[in-house]
Structure 1
Amino acid sequence: MYKLKLFIIGIFITGLIVAITSGPIEIEIALYFKVFFVYLFFTTLYSHLKTVVKTGNVNIDYSISYGLSFVLFTGPLGLFLFEIVNRFYVYFYRKKTGTADEDEFLHTFYNIGGPGLLHSLGYFIFYGLYPYVEEIPFGYWGLLIAIVALTDFLSSILLLTIFHISGSINTGQDAWDFIKGRSILDTMKKAVSNGLLFIFLLEQQWEILIALFILNYLVSRSAVLQSRSIQHKIERDRFEQMAYTDFLTKVHNRTYMNKVMNELNESEEHIGIIVTDIDTFKRINDAYNHTVGDSVIQHFATTLKNFLKDEDYLFRSGGEEFTIILRNRGYQECRQLVEQLQKSIQDTPAVSEFKSRQITISYTASFGLYFYQSNLETNIKHAYIHADDLLYKAKNQGKNQVSSKNGIIDLPLSARYAAAIEKMEI
């Protein structure tokens, strides 16, 4: 911590020395204060946008910096005085709102000295090279982009040094990832914004200057709000996925099954509902333990899932019981798929670990399939009950069996006729 304090204070003192030795403020004091308060108003707005990202023990502000245009117009001393007021406003605001980190006061000195020093470097480069590029088309803008790119790179080096001293970054890959994280678009945006602001300052175009500040603020605010909205959606989707996912098998749970059933109930689709469970599962738990039993359930779920299409659904509807909803298939296709599932389960044992050795466990499963068309005479939950009854029938027939029924064929003639009439074009 001592090295970190020494390094940051060293940057601050160096920036202060450069500011003082570079000469007095280069514009009239009345004009300076006018520029000062306009810039202060709009730059402090960014402290309320929460564009701060915490990396390790340090807060990094990724909002746009207007320091280059300020230093080009007022000189290094004018910028340094501005940064003192601006950064201490941010410090006191964060302390008041409880958003300051533990070393906020120390970081404030870096946030004054670092930008002050780097923008002063940009000031000397600009006035040293501008006479040579003044007559070149777009020479002004090219020079500004080069200066912003250089100062951004040097800023990254200073920050990486701070992170290394504080222990936040310890590998070359972490350092490289941080440097790559700098956006070229942000560099361009900063160069163009500062270039326009400097031109408007020179021409005293206050209305256009303020309009540019407002535009940048609105764009930044919109981006922040959009980012928050996306983050909230990601969090909502994550929580919803957790609420609808079985923790053991990672397939959908019974809660999600009820939701899907309600959605499909009036879809008029041909649907095959399969209810299946592992035969004599209690025997596996009794012979081994529940951990081995869980491995068998996981193997069962994976095997079932491997035979399904993306539009199908697989749910863990009980302990070792699973429910499958097949869509956009005919009855015979559903029946063939169930027979394939039954055979695959029979021929593919599960692998687990018991008493520090690997074991294979052969098991079988029984299946009940009910095929029907939704929104006719059978509610989807009634169809599920039919499939469950068919599973019970398969168990009674000796287990490792498939019991199925085509509910469309069994509909009364009047219901089938009505369904056909509804599909006819008149």
Structure 2
Amino acid sequence: MKKARLYDFSLFLAALALAIHTARITVNYDIYLKALLVYWLFSSLYYHLRIVNKRGNTSFEYVISYSISIGIFTGPLGLFIFEVFYRFTVYFTKKWTKTADPNEFLDTFYNIGSHVLGNSIAFYLFTYFYSRFHGYPFGFWIVMLFLVAISSLLTTSFLGMSFLISGDLKNLREAIKFISKTRSPIDIATLTLTNGLLLLFLLEEKWEPLICLFILNYLVSVSLVSKAQNIQNKLERDQFEQMAYTDFLTGLSNRAYMDKKIVELNQSGECIAIVVADIDKFKRINDNYNHAVGDRVIQHFAETLKSYLDEEDFLFRSGGEEFTIFLRKRNYEQSLAFVEGIHRGIENTSVNVEFHSKIINLSYTASYGLYYFKINDHVSMEKGYVFADHLLLQSKNLGRNRLSVKNGQLQT
């Protein structure tokens, strides 16, 4: 940690030395103060649109940066003053809102140093290349694209080196991979276009379009962040819903999701077969072997059942070793043939399990209850499930490893 902090301060001191060595701001002080005020105001305003990422024990933030345009316009000293004002505004805002990290104060010096050094290089390169490309079509934009790419690479490299020193990156290969993936081509293009336009407005002292560009950028950024947040919230809701409705041993839908589907299907009025299946003598499997073997048998049974289903069917783990199937878009004869096929398949298969450090081949059977009916006011999905469960119990009482069925449509 001490090495990492020494590195952070070395960047800040190098930036300070560069600013002092420059010893002047390259534009009139009145113009500089206007630019400083506008850039400080909007950069501080934009900060709440930042994206926070975490690497190891260290958090780092991405926020749209306008440092390269003000750095090229005012030189290293002007850029250093801007970064000090802006970064300490962020620091005190975080302290006030109680969102500051424990090392926030020290991180502020790193942020100042890395951005001043990276964008000061852009200032010197702009001075060298702009006159040489000025006469070419889109020469200004070619130079800006090059400078944004270089400054982004430098600031990202500073960050990668900091992670490498702190141990959040294990080796140089990880650091190179991190640097190469941090900025996308779209990020580079966005920074080029935005900072290029801002620099042109600064050079021509067009303050109104400059402020309008900042406002437009802010509104677009707010809209994009809002949409991204909505998408993220939906993904998280979907993930939580999936977790709430998933049985983690088998990956199948659980009893809660079955209850939800029962309510939905009650409105369909369709003909449906409810099948309740249960592994025979499952307690004996657990007692004779262990629960790990029992879990593997459950998983194998679930995988086998799933392999028979069509897309329209539903399969749930409705109890410990009990599974429920909703067979749809089949008549009674098709549903019966389907379950008979599963019955024969389970009888003729076995599962490899590990027991006492050996792989053994274990056979098992299951019992089934099938109730076929038309969903209506007289027989709901809830009642159909109860009837299928009673048929399963009948199969168990008759000796297990069998199928009991009833066609509810034949009832009078």
Common fold, TM-score beyond 0.5? yes
- Cα deviation per residue 1:196-223 (whole Å; 9 max; x = unaligned)? 0111122222221111111111222222
| Counterpart residue number, 1:400 | 401
What are the equivalent positions in structure 2 for 1:4-83 lying under 5 Å apart?
4-83=4-83
- Displacement of 1:180: 1.8
| Counterpart residue number, 1:418 | none
Note if contact 1:19-1:120 (Cα within 8 Å) is conserved in structure 2: no
Give the partner amino acid of 2:107: H
For 2:319, what is the secondary structure of its paired residue?
coil
- Displacement of 1:363: 1.4
For 1:20 and 1:300, locate their aligned partners in 2 and report how far apart those are by CA, in whole Å: 75
CA RMSD of aligned residues (A): 1.9
What are the equivalent positions in structure 2 for 1:319-334 lying under 5 Å apart?
319-334=320-335
- Displacement of 1:411: 5.2
For 2:204 and 2:236, locate their aligned partners in 1 and report how far apart those are by CA, in whole Å: 48
Note if contact 1:25-1:74 (Cα within 8 Å) is conserved in structure 2: yes
| Counterpart residue number, 1:251 | 252
For 1:320 and 1:3, locate their aligned partners in 2 and report how far apart those are by CA, in whole Å: 57
| Counterpart residue number, 1:239 | 240
Give the partner amino acid of 2:39: Y
| Counterpart residue number, 2:118 | 118
| Counterpart residue number, 1:99 | 99
For 2:169 and 2:87, locate their aligned partners in 1 and report how far apart those are by CA, in whole Å: 25
**What residue ranges of structure 1 are gaps of 5+ in the alignment?**
413-426
| Counterpart residue number, 1:137 | 137
For 1:189 and 1:67, locate their aligned partners in 2 and report how far apart those are by CA, in whole Å: 14
- Displacement of 1:57: 4.0
Q: 179-188 vs 384-393, which deviates more?
A: 384-393
Note if contact 2:133-2:139 (Cα within 8 Å) is conserved in structure 1: yes
The answer to whether residue 342 in structure 2 is matched with residue 311 in structure 1 is no
What are the equivalent positions in structure 2 for 1:168-187 lying under 5 Å apart?
168-178=168-178, 179-187=180-188
What are the equivalent positions in structure 2 for 1:175-254 lying under 5 Å apart?
175-178=175-178, 179-254=180-255
- Cα deviation per residue 1:307-328 (whole Å; 9 max; x = unaligned)? 1123321112222211101122
| Counterpart residue number, 2:85 | 85
Give the partner amino acid of 1:401: R
Q: 27-36 vs 97-106, which deviates more?
A: 97-106
| Counterpart residue number, 1:345 | 346
Note if contact 2:50-2:62 (Cα within 8 Å) is conserved in structure 1: no
For 2:176 and 2:266, locate their aligned partners in 1 and report how far apart those are by CA, in whole Å: 54
Note if contact 2:164-2:172 (Cα within 8 Å) is conserved in structure 1: no
- Displacement of 1:145: 0.4
For 1:247 and 1:5, locate their aligned partners in 2 and report how far apart those are by CA, in whole Å: 44
The alignment covers a number of residue pairs equal to: 411
For 1:111 and 1:287, locate their aligned partners in 2 and report how far apart those are by CA, in whole Å: 64
Structure 1 vs Structure 2: percent identity of aligned residues? 49
The answer to whether residue 384 in structure 2 is matched with residue 369 in structure 1 is no
For 1:52, what is the secondary structure of its paired residue?
strand
**Structure 1 241/76 Cα, relative in aligned 2: closer, same or farther at 3 Å?**
same
- Displacement of 1:376: 6.0
- Displacement of 1:293: 2.3
Question: Normalising by the residue count of structure 1, what TM-score does the alignment of the two structures yield?
Answer: 0.91
For 1:203 and 1:136, locate their aligned partners in 2 and report how far apart those are by CA, in whole Å: 20
For 1:166 and 1:304, locate their aligned partners in 2 and report how far apart those are by CA, in whole Å: 51
- Displacement of 1:154: 1.6
| Counterpart residue number, 1:419 | none
For 1:252, what is the secondary structure of its paired residue?
coil
Give the partner amino acid of 2:27: I
For 1:168 and 1:295, locate their aligned partners in 2 and report how far apart those are by CA, in whole Å: 38
For 2:318 and 2:276, locate their aligned partners in 1 and report how far apart those are by CA, in whole Å: 9
Note if contact 2:161-2:175 (Cα within 8 Å) is conserved in structure 1: no
**Structure 1 112/260 Cα, relative in aligned 2: closer, same or farther at 3 Å?**
same
| Counterpart residue number, 1:385 | 386
Note if contact 1:57-1:166 (Cα within 8 Å) is conserved in structure 2: no
The answer to whether residue 162 in structure 2 is matched with residue 162 in structure 1 is yes
Give the partner amino acid of 2:218: Y
- Cα deviation per residue 1:375-404 (whole Å; 9 max; x = unaligned)? 364211111122122222323333211222
- Cα deviation per residue 1:122-175 (whole Å; 9 max; x = unaligned)? 111112111111111111001100110011112222111111100010134532
Give the partner amino acid of 1:22: T
Give the partner amino acid of 1:73: F
For 1:369, what is the secondary structure of its paired residue?
strand
| Counterpart residue number, 2:109 | 109
For 2:56 and 2:249, locate their aligned partners in 1 and report how far apart those are by CA, in whole Å: 34
- Displacement of 1:235: 2.3
For 2:132 and 2:313, locate their aligned partners in 1 and report how far apart those are by CA, in whole Å: 68
For 1:75, what is the secondary structure of its paired residue?
helix
**What residue ranges of structure 2 are gaps of 5+ in the alignment?**
none
Note if contact 1:13-1:113 (Cα within 8 Å) is conserved in structure 2: yes
| Counterpart residue number, 1:278 | 279
Question: Normalising by the residue count of structure 2, what TM-score does the alignment of the two structures yield?
Answer: 0.94
- Displacement of 1:40: 0.6
- Cα deviation per residue 1:13-72 (whole Å; 9 max; x = unaligned)? 221222222241122222211111111110001222242323234443311111111122
For 2:336 and 2:261, locate their aligned partners in 1 and report how far apart those are by CA, in whole Å: 22
Q: 305-314 vs 121-130, which deviates more?
A: 305-314
| Counterpart residue number, 1:150 | 150
Q: 250-259 vs 396-405, which deviates more?
A: 396-405
Note if contact 2:50-2:64 (Cα within 8 Å) is conserved in structure 1: no
Note if contact 2:343-2:402 (Cα within 8 Å) is conserved in structure 1: yes
For 1:380 and 1:67, locate their aligned partners in 2 and report how far apart those are by CA, in whole Å: 64
